[in-house]
Amino acid sequence: MHVNNKCVPLQRKIEKRRDMSMLIKPIAYQRLLDMKQTEQGIKLIKEFFQANLSTELRLRRVTAPLFVLKGLGINDDLNGVERPVTFPIKDLGDARAEVVHSLAKWKRLTLAEYHIEPGYGVYTDMNAIRADEELDNLHSLYVDQWDWEEVITREQRTLTFLKGVVNRIYAAILRTEYLVCETYPQIKPFLPEKIHFIHAEDLLRMYPDKSPKEREDAICQAYGAVFIIGIGGKLSNGEKHDGRAPDYDDWSTVAENGQAGLNGDILIWYPVLGRSFELSSMGIRVDKESLLRQLKIEGKEERLQLYFHQQLLNDKLPLSIGGGIGQSRLCMVLLHKGHIGEIQASIWPDDMREDCRQLGMTLI
């Protein structure tokens, strides 16, 4: 595994700011591309990766909404506490719209509307505003993803199938890294050839005294690239590894390995910041049985009356697998940047901008 030593901090400093955001200050950070090269690199990565993702998973591009009507159950609820940005629509009697958090449910409705056959799917550019994000090197108010969704059969709702899709996505990431390094020789590859799979419960057993974030750091540093299975359900210690809404990913079905979970996250070890780094959240989606089970577990059974949930319960939606892959995050990693604000235009605290400027991280 090759690492660009100029980008590897011997140590890192994390500051807790008065505005409650966290900033990692990589020691001896060196910007490898100027702003013009960075913009060109972003374009290169986005065009090349989405073409590879489309080919790997047989996806066709569709146009996505920036906002959806409130009260239909279409918006992504994330962990259930994040507030969506809302506004009234004058010509609809002031009915309220919500800026999307992601398109996890909307994509499944689109598969049905387009009559997509098993083995094929859709992808789109998802742009979201998450006003409750705690701002740091990785988290912004603005979120951009490749959201994708593929129709599957009942027989493909297995952990083996999920792992196969993860491997294909990771292969597309590796090909994109190779192209970037060929285009900009000052950038050296660091991603491992293979991604390691581990269930969140096994990770807990390996590091019982660590927090979920510390466990992610430890396993990613050990393997370089990891897919953590089973995000959303409670583990043996009574806690979740991380939150996941109960009505899109299937995190409660017991898979062939005897553990619950048909979903997970792709993470890598990012030497520029000396920490684990999530690139994608994905999974096999709920069927009727797992939807009912997970809504009961989370005490959200009132959602069963919403439009999306009624469509699923009445067999109007296909079985599917899907996820989101961070566009700015992937560009940040492959261009060896220290802050996501070097990739995308957003709003940052003035003192964070100044700290980043002094470190050589010029925020757009």
3-state secondary structure the chain: CCCCHHHCCCCEEEEECCCCCEEEEECCCCCCCCHHHHHHHHHHHHHHHHHHHHHHHCEEECCCCCEEECCCCCCCCCCCCCCCCEEEEHHHCCEEEEECCCCHHHHHHHHHHCCCCCCCEEEEEEEEECCCCCCCCCCCCEEEEEEEEEECCHHHCCHHHHHHHHHHHHHHHHHHHHHHHHHCCCCCCCCCCCCEEEEHHHHHHHCCCCCHHHHHHHHHHHHCEEEEECCCCECCCCCECCCCCCCCECCCCECCCCCECCEEEEEEEECCCCEEEEEEEEEEECCHHHHHHHHHHHCCHHHHHCHHHHHHHCCCCCCEEEEEEEHHHHHHHHCCCCCHHHCCCCCCCHHHHHHHHHHCCCCC
Residue length, the chain?
364
- Spatial distance between the Cα atoms of 145 and 173, rounded to a whole number of angstroms: 14
Of 307, 222, 338, 324, give the one whose Cα is nearest residue 265. 324
Rg of the chain taking only CA atoms, in angstroms: 20
> Active-site residues: which are they?
76, 130, 145, 265, 278, 281
